[in-house]
Structure 1
Amino acid sequence: MHQPLISIIITILNGEKTLSHCLASIESQTFSDYELVIVDGGSKDRTVQIINESPILNKTIRVLPGIGLYAGLNAGIKLSVGKWLYFIGADDALSSPDILQKVSEIIKNIKNNIKVVVGSVECIKQGTLLQPMFGSPYWMRHQVHHQGMFYDRNIFNNSLYNETMRIASDYEFNLRLALIGIPHQAMDIVICNFGGDGISENQMEHGYKEMQKIHQQLFKGIGRHWAMNYFWLRRSMSAILRRYKLSKLSMGLKKVFG
């Protein structure tokens, strides 16, 4: 049985509005040595039909009603057979038709000890480019987007995503890798266009609480104090910026409509 270089893993629930765009970005790739693994949580819309109609030949779909996000990712990992694993959301898209080709060339030429390669992600609706800060010296300012990372599958032999978390399990997993000094390589390329609106305010608050618990567990002594304060500052600034953007929008509408 052929082992593809890359496994692309998607977890989805009722994603008919965006899935076709995501799949089209995969179908258009000039690189072909990949498999697509999709775990569906029991969609009630046309999601499964769209997947079945996709011309992608090497694909696996597993419908597991009621499965959560991170349980779905873990199921996808177990179903996959690729040498490197990549996770993408159903409302995201690969940045260009040759991006997997570029990544494959980098992977084939890296040192044998490299276990993670990471690139940038463009957040379309926020109008920002998220460049990775992974590993030393960025432990306290850890910033890396899940859709910008490719993992050696052996990383998951002894550890999977924490299924008790709703929002921040990928953050925890990546931070743990960074703290143990997992050999990694940064790529100066944009991997993915992140198309989602992001999480809701209620989900964001829950995510912040999960991240606080993660910092308490992983950092000790003065490192924990620094991490908690930096996290609080970043959270406060994010809230201010969100309100500022909303107030600017409100002011703009008043100017237009009176």
Structure 2
Amino acid sequence: MKVSIITVVYNGAEFVRNCIESIINQTYPDIEYIIVDGKSTDGTVDIVQSYGKKVSRFISEPDKGLYDAMNKGIRLATGDVIGLLNADDFYRHNRVIENMVATFQRTGADAVYGDMLYVDRDDTKKLKRYWRSGWYSENAFLWGWMPGHLSFFAKRSLYEQYGLFRLDMKSAADYELMLRFIHKNKVKLAYMDEVTIVMRAGGISNSSVGNRLRANREDRLAWQLNGLKPYFFTFWLKPLRKLKQYVSKPPARPDV
């Protein structure tokens, strides 16, 4: 099983090397690594190019934002399975891809997901949040559930059949895509009961009332665009479910 991993980056020189190393040091042998750069000006391009053929495909050109860049990478991908890892983030250990492929093979799933850690941007030993996705049950999206997007590995055939990220969405484009794949089209899911991704805290925040209201509107739009009807409380359960992530503690890193 060939795996395509896509990293999108724009002016990410500070952390992109850490991201690249976490991918090229994976134990799984059949990885196609694609980096899509938005025409960086801070030295990112030089860092990426220093890895030579360890990066399978590299493009550097202007784009229309994060999800446009992700779509470019997906269109370039030739793997059986596609995963996404942003330039600020990294895999927790070097057997993540190996374990993920084993989960696909053992379960016959269409998509596999795991857990994520959010850490301090500068000191990655300082835990900010532990996103334990947990086991999926049918209609879980109605109760505010969703897996962490970067922990989500999907067969390339799902993107070909059900489409890429919608560029008319903003912060909820990842939510809309997983809602479309999982809840609407009932793809077969499997859960990796382990932390796969470590994310540096930052990016679009829903911590303020204004940002949460904007996210709520986008969540509603995601359901409307797919012709789906949520419960009246679905959009408020989604942020409420995240509160536990700030007090839960992850299991110790596996001995690898």
In 1, distance between residues paired with 2:135 and 2:68? 26
Q: Deviation at 1:14?
A: 0.7
- Could you tell me which residue of structure 1 aligns to residue 223 of structure 2? 215
1:176 aligns with 2:180: yes
Q: How does 1:120-131 map to 2 (within 5 A)?
A: 120-125=115-120, 126-131=128-133
In 2, distance between residues paired with 1:204 and 1:48? 35
Unaligned runs of 5+ in 2: 121-127, 247-256
Higher helix fraction (1 or 2): 1
Q: How does 1:1-258 map to 2 (within 5 A)?
A: 5-54=2-51, 57-111=54-108, 114-125=109-120, 126-132=128-134, 134=136, 136-140=138-142, 141-158=144-161, 159-179=163-183, 180-200=185-205, 205-218=213-226, 223-224=229-230, 226=231, 228-232=232-236, 234-235=238-239
Q: What is the number of residues matched between the two proteins? A: 232
Large movers: runs of 4+ above 6 Å: 236-239
Which structure: larger Rg? 1
What SS class does the counterpart of residue 141 from structure 2 fall into? Answer: coil
What SS class does the counterpart of residue 17 from structure 1 fall into? Answer: coil
1:41–1:96 distance in 2 versus 1, CA, 3 Å: same
Is the 1:27–1:55 contact (alpha carbons within 8 Å) kept by the matching residues of 2?
A: no
Q: Deviation at 1:127?
A: 2.8
Aligned-partner residue type, residue 59 of structure 2: R
Is the 2:145–2:241 contact (alpha carbons within 8 Å) kept by the matching residues of 1?
A: no
TM-score, normalised with respect to structure 1: 0.80
What is the CA deviation profile of residues 51-103 of structure 1, one whole-angstrom value per residue up to 9, with x for unaligned ones? 11126624211112133211111110111111100011111110101221212
Is the 2:104–2:110 contact (alpha carbons within 8 Å) kept by the matching residues of 1?
A: no
1:58–1:47 distance in 2 versus 1, CA, 3 Å: closer
Q: Deviation at 1:178?
A: 1.8
Unaligned runs of 5+ in 1: 243-258
In 1, distance between residues paired with 2:44 and 2:213? 29
Residue identity (%): 25
Q: Which moved more, 1:128-137 or 1:87-96?
A: 128-137
What is the CA deviation profile of residues 132-165 of structure 1, one whole-angstrom value per residue up to 9, with x for unaligned ones? 4645141212221111111011001131110112
Is the 2:27–2:94 contact (alpha carbons within 8 Å) kept by the matching residues of 1?
A: yes
- Could you tell me which residue of structure 1 aligns to residue 253 of structure 2? none
Is the 2:8–2:66 contact (alpha carbons within 8 Å) kept by the matching residues of 1?
A: yes
Aligned-partner residue type, residue 28 of structure 1: N
C-alpha RMSD over aligned residues: 2.6
